[in-house]
């Protein structure tokens, strides 16, 4: 396998708009959950009486790299406080989860799989030499209990078995002991085989099942990539086969899947869970690292630049549980919600608008994306995703100054004490590529960098086009950016207390009520691109970094019966009801209310 290795937060530092995005996250919910949310603040993981299962590990999984990427001493100290409490509570036999011994058989060990992954993240960031032994003892105990039959995989642990391999691979590289491979085998044997569920993915269902659960499926995509080496199996690119089925029957314009909470078909008004977005991104990060196949890095970009910012408020104090591709309002719906299994507040913005899993888990999205900018193997460094950042490692410093994906210009400043090979992954959509002002073939750039100083200027064009979507609708895309009609809105704020959890400004609930038209179709396919400065909020609806002007007309689209704030799946009529008007589209990730999949009226 063409495996790449991740750098750590000590070696990669965000710059430019990416650093600002991470600062907003740290200033918002991510950096404050331990102060305001009982499930983190008073968790059983640190001796409290609140949730002692997935929420603290989920939160730490993103909070830790966020703290270290920003070199924020207060956040780093908080992370250490939590890790110290978790490590100090580890039992003599290795068990680490906050659960009485007599309750272990009924405790869903998904939490073991998750905390080990999180502990590895902490080790990568901090270098804390306690951690390998902690993980070793946790997984050795897990092995002994599974092997003896004292416990078995069930529930979420059964359907997320592959998550264990993130820490198992780490452990095997460090200790190279036979029991680790045996544990890998047992976990796969007891885990769910998603090949048996593909027929269920072809038709939306309102029945809640783990084998059609959107987050499970987004996690599952990496299963073969992360497990096959340890299992001694051939790599078959199973993920491509399964992703193709998911996309065909449940795909979205941002190349994720609908799932609110289970797979929901091809309706652009169905939701996609926030957890699914960050887990699909993480799967693609791991899959590119394990396989070296560019398709995973390119798909990662599309998710990261569109779906991730779209599901978070601009100040990142609130988030949605589910986002819609065609999202004309974020208002409470009727009790009979329009989702497959979610409730009527699922697409409003808030602290905990449906279930709290996303409140804890969204935190990993931006930090892990930032850590995917550069990777390495042997004497080769690759710029996998063109994110503004600085890599400093082993006598090499690479500074990438760029506004990508908003502009397709990159400047690399390299200082090296030694010779090395440098690869720049060029997206498949790149046209008219130039390197240092000279025309070049639009494919991956491989350079032999000599010791000393090197400057590289790289630029290319991305041509906007209308991407065909189901139901004879189209979405405008340019490079990795999807574009939408932004809908102006009024924010209705609600502060309250529910089950002892306070929602108050700025982490209260918000409903977004539309104040501008949304019922459009494309009048032609002539596009005019405008580039703007990136402001303090990179994904701002009011000040987007890039826009595309296009001629459009309003149509009688209509609402989905019986709802007052959900658009129909397809327009009621495609006959224009207005004259042609020039409309400015903004990046999908900038628009909290938007229309993205629309008909072409000029055909």
Write out the DSSP string of 447-467.
EEEPSEEEEEEEEEE---EEE
Q: How many CB atoms lie within 10 A of CB 341?
A: 18
pLDDT of residue 337: 87
Mean pLDDT, rounded, for 492-510: 95
Beta-ladder partners of 435: 438, 458
Q: How confident is the model over 186-224, as pLDDT tens digits?
A: 999 999 999 999 999 999 988 999 999 999 999 999 999
The yes-or-no verdict on residue 1 having pLDDT over 80 is no
Residues 6+ apart with CB under 8 A from 131: 83, 87, 119, 120, 122, 123
Nearest to 212 by CA among 161, 264, 254, 255: 264
Nearest to 160 by CA among 242, 216, 118, 104: 216
pLDDT of residue 336: 77
Mean pLDDT, rounded, for 81-92: 98
Question: Rounded to a whole number, what is the distance in angstroms from the first to the last CA of the chain?
Answer: 47
The yes-or-no verdict on residue 335 having pLDDT over 80 is no
pLDDT band for position 602 (cuts 50, 70, 90) = confident
| Of 105-109, 497-501, 589-593, the least confident | 497-501
Q: How confident is the model over 292-313, as pLDDT tens digits?
A: 999 999 999 999 999 999 999 9
Rg (CA), the chain: 24
Residue 136's SS3 state is helix
pLDDT of residue 205: 86
| Of 81-85, 441-445, 487-491, 572-576, the least confident | 441-445
Q: How confident is the model over 388-441, as pLDDT tens digits?
A: 999 999 999 999 999 999 999 999 999 999 999 999 999 999 999 999 999 999
Domain ranges of the chain: 375-461, 465-595
Residues making up the chain, counted from first to last: 603
pLDDT of residue 603: 57
Note the pTM of the prediction, 2 decimals: 0.98
Give the domain 375-461 fold.
Immunoglobulin-like (2.60.40)
pLDDT band for position 68 (cuts 50, 70, 90) = very high
Q: How confident is the model over 515-555, as pLDDT tens digits?
A: 999 999 999 999 999 999 999 999 999 999 999 999 999 99
CB 452 within 8 A of CB 416: yes
Mean pLDDT, rounded, for 79-107: 97
């Amino acid at each position: 396998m063409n495996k790449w290795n991740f750098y750590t937060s000590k070696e990669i530092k965000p710059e430019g708009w990416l650093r600002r995005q991470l600062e907003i996250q740290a200033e918002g919910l991510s950096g404050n959950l331990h102060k305001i949310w009982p499930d983190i603040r008073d968790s059983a993981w640190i001796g409290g009486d609140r949730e002692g299962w997935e929420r603290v590990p989920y939160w730490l999984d993103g909070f830790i790299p966020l703290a270290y990427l920003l070199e924020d001493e207060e956040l780093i100290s908080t992370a250490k406080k939590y890790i110290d409490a978790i490590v100090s509570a580890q039992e003599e036999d290795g068990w680490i989860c906050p659960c009485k011994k007599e309750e272990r058989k009924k405790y869903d060990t998904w939490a073991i799989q998750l905390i080990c992954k999180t502990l590895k993240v902490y080790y990568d960031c901090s270098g804390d030499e306690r951690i390998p032994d902690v993980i070793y003892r946790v997984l050795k105990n897990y092995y002994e209990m599974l092997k003896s039959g004292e416990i078995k995989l069930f529930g979420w642990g059964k359907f997320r078995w592959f998550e264990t391999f993130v820490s198992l691979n780490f452990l095997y590289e460090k200790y190279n002991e036979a029991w680790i491979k045996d544990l890998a085998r047992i976990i796969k044997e007891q885990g769910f085989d998603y090949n048996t569920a593909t027929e269920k993915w072809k038709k939306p269902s309102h029945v809640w099942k783990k084998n059609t659960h959107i987050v499970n499926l987004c996690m599952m995509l990496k299963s073969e990539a992360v497990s096959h080496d340890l299992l001694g199996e051939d790599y078959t690119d199973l993920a491509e086969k399964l992703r193709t089925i998911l996309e065909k029957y449940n795909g979205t314009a941002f190349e994720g899947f609908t799932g609110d909470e289970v797979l929901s078909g091809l309706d652009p008004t169905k939701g996609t869970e926030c957890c699914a977005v960050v887990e699909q991104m993480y799967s693609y990060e791991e899959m590119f690292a394990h396989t070296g196949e560019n398709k995973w890095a390119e798909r990662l970009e599309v998710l990261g630049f569109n779906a991730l910012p779209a599901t978070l408020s601009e100040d990142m104090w609130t988030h949605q549980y589910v986002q819609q591709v065609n999202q004309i309002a974020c208002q409470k719906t009727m009790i009979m919600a329009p989702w497959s299994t979610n409730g009527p507040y699922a697409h409003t913005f808030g602290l905990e608008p449906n279930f709290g899993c996303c409140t804890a888990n969204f935190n990993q999205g931006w930090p892990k994306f930032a850590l995917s900018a550069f990777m390495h193997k042997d004497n080769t460094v690759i710029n996998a995703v063109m994110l503004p950042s600085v890599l400093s490692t082993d006598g090499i410093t690479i500074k990438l100054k760029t506004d990508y994906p908003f502009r397709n210009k990159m400047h690399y400043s390299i200082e090296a004490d030694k010779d090395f090979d440098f690869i720049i992954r060029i997206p498949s959509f790149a046209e008219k590529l130039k390197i240092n002002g000279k025309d070049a073939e639009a494919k991956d750039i491989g350079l032999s960098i000599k010791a000393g100083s090197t400057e590289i200027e790289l630029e290319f064009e991305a041509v906007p086009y209308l991407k065909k979507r189901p139901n004879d609708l189209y979405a405008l895309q340019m490079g990795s950016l999807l574009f939408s009609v932004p809908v102006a809105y009024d924010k209705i704020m609600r502060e309250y207390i529910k089950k002892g959890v306070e929602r108050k400004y700025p982490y209260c609930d918000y409903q977004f009520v539309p104040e501008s038209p949304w019922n459009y179709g494309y009048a032609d396919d002539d596009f005019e691109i405008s580039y703007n400065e990136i402001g303090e909020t990179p994904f701002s609806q009011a000040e987007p970094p890039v826009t595309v002007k296009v001629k459009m007309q309003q149509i009688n689209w209509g609402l989905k019966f019986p709802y007052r704030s959900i658009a129909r799946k397809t327009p009621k009529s495609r006959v224009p009801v207005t004259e042609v008007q020039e409309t400015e589209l903004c990046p999908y990730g900038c628009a909290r209310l938007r229309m993205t999949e629309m008909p072409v009226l000029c055909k």
